[in-house]
Amino acid sequence: MNRPRLLDMFCCAGGAAKGYHDAGFDVVGVDIKAQPRYPFEFIRADIMVDPVENFVAWVRANGFAAIHASPPCQAHTSMKTMPDARPHLDLIPGTRERLIATGLHYVIENVSGSPLLNPVKLCGSMFGLGAKGAQLRRHREFETNWLLMGAGPCQHTSPTIGIYGEGCRDSRRKYDKTIPEFTVVDGREAMGMPWASLAEICEAIPPAYTRHIGQQMIAQLQSQRLAA
């Protein structure tokens, strides 16, 4: 059976891509920056520069069945209020316009507090993610144009491993500075991304999230194919 093709927009190092691949998709990543460690087919391009109709024509010509998009989140993170924060464009509305125009199943991912429509929140605690007894939470939200089921409520425990700002943080250091921070090896384990650099895992989402999403999307696409 042929695997459906999924376009991974703003793909970075491929955290989302790995989950979709494990769920049964053939994944093609596109990013404006080179991604030498991206684990699947990769195209370097600015996918937002062409008119919407050109984007739609390209998607159809390449036989994609679904699209995932992770627009840059800096416009919506808590870091945007820092005194030295630079302004960032909100690419979510433009991304949504393009995805709707294709008529395909789509997913838009971003941080909590971003302007997604009726998103589903996922957390590392729902999938047992972590390293060395510390839990990875990493809340992310997902907008879809199809019915996505969540993975249950958060199951928060302590301590936690935080992967951000090009570091792997140990929550226990808030009270005991003698405890070392986690290593990049620990961060890779917690994220499920053994191929990625420290900077790359700081920007990624765990493959467990998109494996959960991709399994549901594959099932819907198969149902549509059988009903056609």
Domains in the chain: boundaries: 5-227
CATH topology of domain 5-227: Rossmann fold (3.40.50)
Omega into 159 within 30° of 0, i.e. cis?
Answer: yes
82 pLDDT exceeds 50? no
64 pLDDT exceeds 70? yes
Across 101-127, average pLDDT: 97
- Which residues have C-beta within 8 Å of that of residue 140, sequence separation ≥ 6? 109, 110, 111, 112, 121, 122, 205, 209
6 pLDDT exceeds 80? yes
- The predicted model scores a pTM of 0.92
3 state SS of 78: helix
